[in-house]
Every structure is written in C-alpha cells, then in structure tokens.
Amino acid sequence: MPWLDRMPLAEFAPHVPGAAVVQERWGPQLDRARILRISREFHRRAGTLTEAVADEHRRYRAGAAVIRTAHQPNYLASSNIVGQAVMADRLRRLCGSADRLPAVHMFTLIDYDINTDRRYRHALLPSPTSRDGSIALSLPAMRHVHDVFMFTETETTAVDLVGRLDLRLDHDHAALRKAHPNLALSRDLLHQRLDRIAGHLAFAAGQARSRSEYTAIVLSRLMNLDLGYSTMFVPGHRAIRLMGAHFAAIWSEWPDIVKVADTVDASPEWSGHAFHGGTAAGQLLAPFWLRCLCGRRLRLVWRDRPAGAARAECAECRLEHTVDPTRVAELGTANRLIPRVLADDLLDFTAWGHWAGCDYSGGLEHYQFSSLLAQRLGLAPLPIHLSDDLLYQPETDLMPSGFVAAAAALEREYPHAARAGRLASSGRASIAHALLWADKEPMKPGGPTSEHPGRERGDRLAVVAAQ
C-alpha cells in the first residue's frame, strides 16, 4: 500500500487499480440507481443540476468508476476541502483511457457527524488590516445544546455577508493597493464577487431544510457554478440509510474485528502512532452511535457480550435505549444508528464500490490504520491520495497570490498582515476568500448577480434579499 505515504498526484496515479475491487463481504454494493436519485434531488434543490452534473450522473448510472472525496459540509468551507475536488478532477484525467468512461467525481457529505467541530459553523477570511489578521464569519448560534447530528439541525438562517464584509473589504483593498500598486483586482470587481457569494447564501437559506443542507448547497454552488468543477454531491446521512444489511453484518463480526484491530495496534509498523484503533474500537463499545429521539449522539455499550444487545442512556431526556442484534438493520435504515470511525472507514472500502479517493492529510493516521486493518481482514483498502495542506496550491491555482504578495508588503504598517498572508496561502482560509481575491476571474457567467455588473453597493442588500 505505497499510497499510505504522501506523494505527488502523478506518482499516486499508477497505484490506482484498473477497476474498483468488488467486495461484498457484508452485503451488496450500494444500488447506483438509489444513490443517483438521492444526488439528483440534492442538486435540484441546490440549483446545481447543470448539464455537466447531469453528465456525471449519466456516467455514474452507466457504471463509470468513482473517485470520491468526503467531508463535513462546513460553512464556507476551506480551500483545502475544495482543493480535493480539483485533485480528483486531475486524477481522473491522469487515470483516463480510451476504452472506458471517464471517472465520476463524487463528494460525499459527512452530514452525519455531530455539530461540535468549530469549522462546521465558522469560516476564516484573511484580512491584513483586522486585528489578528482575519475575520471570523459565523453562523448564528442554535437554540438547542450541541452534540447533535448535523442533519437533524432544522434551523436555517440567512447570513448578511455583504453587511459583514462590505466596509472591511474596502479598507483591505485600499491598504493593499497602496502597499502593492501592481495588485490588479479592482474594487468594483471585488464587490461584484461578494454580491455573487452573498447570492448563493441567500438562495441556500430559501431552499435548505437543515443547517447542514444549507452549508452543503452553498458548497455545491461554489464548486459547480463558480469554479466549474463538475461534482456529484451525495448527502451522506441518506446514503447510509441504504446500508442496513452492512450494519447488521459488521455488528455480528465486531468482536473479531476488534481482535484484528488490536493486532494492528501491537504491530511494529504501528509503533509511535498517536491513533490507536484497537482502543478506539474497544471491547466494550458497539461499532455505531445511537441517535436518541432528542437528536443527541449516544455511546452504545455491550450489555452482556460483544455482538449481542447494547444499551445507551441519554442524559438530556433521561431515556434508556436497548439495541438488539435483530433491530440493527432496521435502526440503520431509520438513521438511528451512525457508524463510528472504524466502521465508517470499512464501509467506505466495501459498500460504496469506489475506485479511488482524494483527501488532505488531516485524517492520515486513522486512514492508515483502517487500511492496515482492512488488509488483515482480507479486504482491499481504497487507494486515497493524501495531500499536505500546501501541496494542492500549485496544481489547483486556488491561492490568491496577488493578495499574499500585497499582504507581505503591509507588514510594517499592520502587524497582523503577515498572519493574513500565511492564512491565505495555507489552504485553511475559506474558499470565499480565494474567490474574492483571485488573481484571474474564477467565476463562471450567469450567477445570482452577474446580470448587474455595475451595481452600486447601496443596492446590494435589496437584490440579495429579492433573490
């Protein structure tokens, strides 16, 4: 498994097999017709069922190989996340051949995670004239407590992006132009781009049925409409509802899986790693979380023996739950059972039938562990290209190099300008920043406000509200 070490995309491509390995140890691979219906429904709601996306769907239905990326639907997601879509597009070109359909790029939305990750609700925009060198854009706080699954958050709120950024962008632009007169981006174009992104937020607020769907719609519009990387989005919580048989099989085999995980933990090749999958799997814990009726995530503990019944208690609503092995498939289909990390990785290798994947290095250790575990279980791990935070930039052209150069010239006047430049070049800043300050026009024609290129700033809020 040489791809477990980070390597350039061109070196990774030869390790991708000629076809996806069919693995039906725990059940048949997911029905493509059903996944297609889920994806089409999402894209219709998102306003991103473009001809390019429809072509992805046609090839998927015809049996084309799938290159997958997967992530939480973060609010105005980072350039690192969007960069993986670009890497997937490059990978399918590198692995293409005349005798087969071009691979499909599928973005699986991990909306069945819980809502505690700060990046899910907050986005960072570098700003050389701001204190700390950045602006934090946050979704409004929810009325309920945290620790609930993303797809269960039914509240959505329109965000006034123009009101939040209008004057700050003017201040940043004036300072950057003064320090770096060669900055080509005009103030008017900067605000036109802001209008367009604000239009996506307003559209999503009117269409979304949950907070995770709101952030996912924005991400799909930025990737499919603005950047033009045709990507088939699939809401993960709806897809895992099709895995009831897989859930039941993993439940019954979990004691054996844990024993194998312990051998990986104890092996010399895993010495020195921080992630310990055997401990994470645990002899006491079932392979799935239970979603309480109140929405909270609960740990399931084996009652008498592993693979038997498991119990959980909710501290919020004071309910005690018992999951019997005979109910696992039913509860999985109802989105009441959600896979933990190792089970989720194993399902990624088996149920989906993917060909390859792209990811950045944040999840490197648990992916390495899961691959070693799968190998010892007699499964073929999914080859995934793992890039450093900085690796994607020369290949994707998502870094606003003019902004970075201008920020460096501001260091004497603004002490946090250097931090703004580092944030912009790291890939951790929101893709909104890369789109706003792009050196060349990244956005495709026909967006929410592109028919009004000369709009005065005073009219913007009315236009966005009307959309």
Q: Which whole number is the average pLDDT over 348-376? A: 85
Nearest Cα residue to 226 out of 465, 448, 393: 448
Distance of CA 285 to the CA centre of its chain: 27
Domain boundary among 313, 339, 365: 339
| pLDDT tens by residue, 33-84 | 999 999 999 999 999 999 999 999 999 999 999 999 999 999 999 988 888 8
123 & 82 share domain: yes
Alpha helices in 126-186 (DSSP H): 161-179
* Same structural domain, 172 and 211: yes
Instruction: Answer yes or no: is 398 within a domain.
Output: yes
CA separation for the pair 260, 269 (Å, rounded): 14
Measured CA to CA, the distance from residue 429 to residue 169 in angstroms comes to 15
Residue 455 pLDDT > 80:
no
* Whether residue 128 is found in the same domain as residue 178: yes
Both tokens of 55, joined, read 């072509």
Residues 160 and 262 in one domain: no
**Mean per-residue pLDDT, 218-239:** 95
Q: With a cut of 70, say whether residue 278 has pLDDT above it.
A: no
Mean pLDDT, the chain, integer: 84
pLDDT > 80? residue 252: yes
- Domain contains 346: no
At 16, the pLDDT band (50, 70, 90 cuts) reads confident
Domain final residue pick, 275, 305, 339: 339
pLDDT at 11: 84
Least confident of 26-30, 275-279, 316-320: 275-279
Confidence at residue 289, expressed as pLDDT on a 0 to 100 scale: 95
Q: Report the share of the chain in percent with pLDDT over 70.
A: 86
Predicted pLDDT at 448? 41
287 and 223 in a common domain: no
The residue-averaged pLDDT of 337-347 equals 92
* Any domain includes 137: yes
Do 364 and 447 lie in one domain? The reply is yes
Q: Is residue 194 part of a domain?
A: yes
Specify whether 73 is located in the same domain as 106. yes
Please list the helix, strand and coil fractions of the chain in percent, rounded to the nearest 5, in that order: 50, 15, 35
Provide the number of structural domains found in the chain.
2
**Does any domain span residue 63?**
yes
Asked whether residue 191 carries a pLDDT value surpassing 50, the answer given is yes
Token pair of 297 as six digits: 């995530």
In a domain, 5, yes or no: yes
Confidence class of residue 387 from pLDDT cuts 50, 70 and 90? confident
Residues 231 and 258 in one domain: no
Residue 224 has a CB neighbour count (10 Å cut-off) of 26
Contact between 287 and 340 under an 8 Å Cβ cutoff? The reply is yes
Domain end (from 339, 370, 402): 339
Question: What are the DSSP calls for 104-135, one per residue?
Answer: EEEEEE-TTSBTT-HHHHEEEEE-TTSGGGEE
Residues in the chain, how many?
Answer: 467
Q: Are residues 330 and 364 in the same domain?
A: no
- Encoded amino acid at 449, one letter: T
pLDDT of 101 reads 79
In this structure, the answer to whether residues 445 and 321 fall within a common structural domain is no
Most confident of 83-92, 336-345, 350-359, 412-421: 336-345
**Token code pair at residue 166:** 């209008």
Do residues 220 and 91 both lie within one domain? yes
Tell whether 408 and 331 lie within a shared domain: no
Burial of 223: CB neighbours in 10 Å, binned 0-12, 13-18, 19+: buried
In a domain, 344, yes or no: no
Domain extent, residue 214, equals 1-243+351-467
| pLDDT classification of 298: cutoffs 50, 70, 90 | very high
Look up residue 79 and give its two tokens.
């350039």
Q: Compute, in degrees rounded to 10, the torsion defined by CA atoms 164, 169, 172, 173.
A: 180
pLDDT band at 452 (very low <50, low <70, confident <90, very high): very low
> Is residue 345 situated within a structural domain?
no
